[in-house]
Structure formats: C-alpha cells, structure tokens
A and B are shown apart, each in its own frame.
Chain A
Amino acid sequence: MTTLQLGDQAPDFRLPGVDNQQHALDDYATRSVLVVIFSCNHCPYVRAWEDRMVQLQRDFAQQNVQFIVISSNSAEVRPADSFPKMQERAVEKGFNFPYLYDEPQTVARAYGATRTPEVFVFDDQRTLRYHGAIDDNYDDPAAVKQEYLRDALKAIIAHATPAVSDTPVVGCSIKWKP
C-alpha cells in the first residue's frame, strides 16, 4: 500500500455517514478545499485532537473548506469504532462535518492511510497539497507551536504553496480486519 504523494489526485469514495446518508467525493465538488481526515472513536490521539478538528471546520467554513472525517477501523478489532458508536460520538462531540464509515477499508487503502488521525488536504482541483498531522502537540493545545493544518489551509486558500506540506503522522495504527 502506498500513501498518496503531494500532487496526487483525491481517490473517489462513496461511504455511509453517521447521518445515514451516502457521501461521495463528487458531492463536495463545489468546495474550494477538501480536508479528508482518517480518524476513529477510540484512539486517544484522535480524542485529544478532535475538538481542534471541530474548531478548524468552524473557522474555515466561510472560506468554503469542507472537512470529511472517515473511520476505516475494523469494529471487530475495536468494538468502540462500530458504526453505532460512531453515531453516538458524532452527537456527543457535536461534529460539524460528515463522519463516514469505511467498513470495507478500501478508501483507507486507496489513500494509503495508516494512522488516526491522518490528514489529507486537497485544493480546488482535488490535488493533494498537505499530508500529515493537525499540529505539533496532541497533548496540549495551549503548547502548540506549529499549526500545520491551519497554516496549510491559509496557504491553499490564498493559492500559495504551504510552507510545510508533509509532516509525520502521529496516532494509532488503523485497525485492519483480521
């Protein structure tokens, strides 16, 4: 499995969301920037960062930026990541973005995602412009020094190249089916 490289096109997807609707890449064709984050319920790194995901979607909604959050984890391996549990989590945390279930794990494989959370940012041509972490400190939002995702979004909206476009992914491994 190969992780998408900067300059690659966004692989298509069509997945069920916690709203019981189907969501496809083309549904968001009018969005200026698409942020695809592989995530899940149980991982402590995700849970440490997810309020920041909600805040970033809120902060960039006016710039026509759309977050899509996908869980590809096997519920057999981690029952806390089942679809019903995803629905509960979305309500509990007030997710302001689609939270999709990649039960066959094909989308994670197409993107080459390996961890949660793992961020892929695509521009208006759906070309990958940023890949990696949300920022440099999962433990303490007040101690963040590098806001990788926020800075990348600002650059991409301004049709500039992000100063930092690829950062190490920090998180739990995606739980593949046995």
Chain B
Amino acid sequence: MNPEPEIEFLYFEDCPSHEAALERLQTVAIEFALSPDTIRVIRVDTEAAAEQYGFPGSPTIRIDHRDIDPASQDDPPALACRAYRHEDGRITALPPLPLLRQALQTALDARSRNAPGG
C-alpha cells in the first residue's frame, strides 16, 4: 500500500475560494509531512463532469476516496459553490483548517491500522 493517502481536490472555476482552498490543503499536507505535489487537482466545468465525479460543489476534497465533510458528501452533483461550517457554526466557502487536519489524520490512522503488521 502506498504510504501516502490519495488526495483529490475538485473545483469549479466559477467559485472563487478554490485557489485559497488549494493553498490551505497544500499547507496542511506539508504539516503532515506529505508532499503537496501528490494532490490530484481536478477541474469540474460541466454538469456531466459533476455527475461523473459525484461532485456536490466547489471545492470538494477527498482523501482516500472519503469526503472531508461527510455531512455534505451525499448532496446531489451540481456545478455549485459549496458551503462548509466552522466549529462555531459560521458558514464559509473555505474548508476549515480543523476539518482538513482531522480528515488527514483519520486517513493516516486508517492506513496505519491497515498496513502489514499494523
């Protein structure tokens, strides 16, 4: 098993938070000693592509095929901007740092458990 989790960053160009969101994801990846170059960046720009990727809105981040925010992962596919929630309940268009860190930690823990001898 590849020691590094598979990270996918899907975005819709029309939603302006995607650049800041990708920078935030890269920063968190580095915090976890992961190479930001391994992040697979996918541009979604048609309804058909949104359907194909099961894309509920921009930005969407999946780590080892799991959405970082399970609360919204089952929203219908759409070329839309995606809302996230801060811990205090505020809405934001940027994935909050604690959510990113928790998702990466969860993925790394799962890989550690599933590793041979783990």
Contact = CB atoms under 8 A, between A and B. Distances in A.
On whether the two chains bind one another, the answer is yes
Interface of A: 42-45, 47-48, 78, 138-140, 170-173
A171 B16 contact: yes
A47 B83 contact: yes
Contact of B81 (A139, A140, A172): A172
Given A45-B93, A48-B93, 9 more contacts: A44-B82, A44-B83, A44-B92, A45-B16, A48-B90, A48-B92, A170-B16, A171-B16, A172-B80
A67 to B, nearest CB: 20
A48 B91 contact: yes
Contacts of A44: 81-84, 91-93
B14 interface: yes
Interface in B82-104: 82-84, 90-94
B81 A138 contact: no
Nearest to A173: B14
Interface of B: 14-17, 20, 80-84, 90-94
Contacts of A43: 81
A139 B85 CA distance: 10
A138 B93 contact: yes
Nearest to A172: B81
Contacts of B94: 139
Nearest to A43: B81
Contacts of A172: 14-15, 80-81
Contacts of A170: 16
Contacts of A171: 16
Nearest 8 CB-CB pairings of A with B: A44-B83, A47-B91, A44-B93, A139-B94, A172-B81, A139-B92, A48-B91, A48-B92
A73 B93 CA distance: 19
A89 to B, nearest CB: 12
B14 A139 contact: no
Contacts of B93: 44-45, 48, 138-139
A56 to B, nearest CB: 17
